[in-house]
């Protein structure tokens, strides 16, 4: 037996999360994420200077999209997305420097976006518009 207090709040939260997923259905969540990934991929591919890494078929990928913008440091883009547009992203090597060496983005890394069931199509349009504005300022 271990000493200490069980994480009752964490256990209850996990249970509530599992029940919510069971109510919504994994297939529904996956379908929504696929739609959002398709929307984001289509929008990003129309912006000059954007390079998307990895699989580009929404139904074959996880809900994580990594990209770079030519002529811009990923940290600068991430900061501008947050400061100017209220969009959160993750930038850098994502705890995977060897993977970034393989895809040629080492030592800077990429900008990572992760749409989810809680992301709306309007959110995706806002991300695309933000990238378009940032890219236009670096031509």
Query: Is 95 among the catalytic positions?
Result: yes
Annotated active-site residue in 28, 67, 72, 95: 95
Which residues are CB-neighbours of 38 under 8 A, at least 6 positions away? 58
> Nearest Cα to 125, choosing from 44, 57, 64, 66?
44
The sheet that has 65-69: what strands, in order across it?
A: 50-53, 65-69, 110-113, 90-92
Catalytic residues: 95
């Amino acid at each position: 037996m271990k000493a200490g207090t069980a994480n009752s709040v964490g256990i209850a939260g996990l249970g509530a999360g599992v029940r919510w997923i069971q109510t919504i259905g994994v297939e529904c969540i996956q379908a929504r994420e696929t739609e959002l990934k398709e929307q984001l991929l289509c929008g990003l591919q129309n912006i000059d200077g954007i390079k998307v890494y990895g699989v580009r078929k929404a139904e074959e990928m996880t809900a994580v999209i990594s990209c770079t913008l030519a002529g811009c440091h990923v940290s600068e883009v991430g900061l501008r997305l947050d400061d100017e547009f209220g969009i959160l992203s993750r930038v850098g090597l994502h705890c995977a420097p060897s993977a970034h060496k393989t895809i040629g983005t080492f030592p800077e890394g990429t900008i990572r976006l992760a749409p989810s069931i809680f992301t709306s199509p309007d959110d995706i349009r806002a991300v695309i518009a933000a990238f378009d504005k940032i890219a236009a300022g670096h031509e």
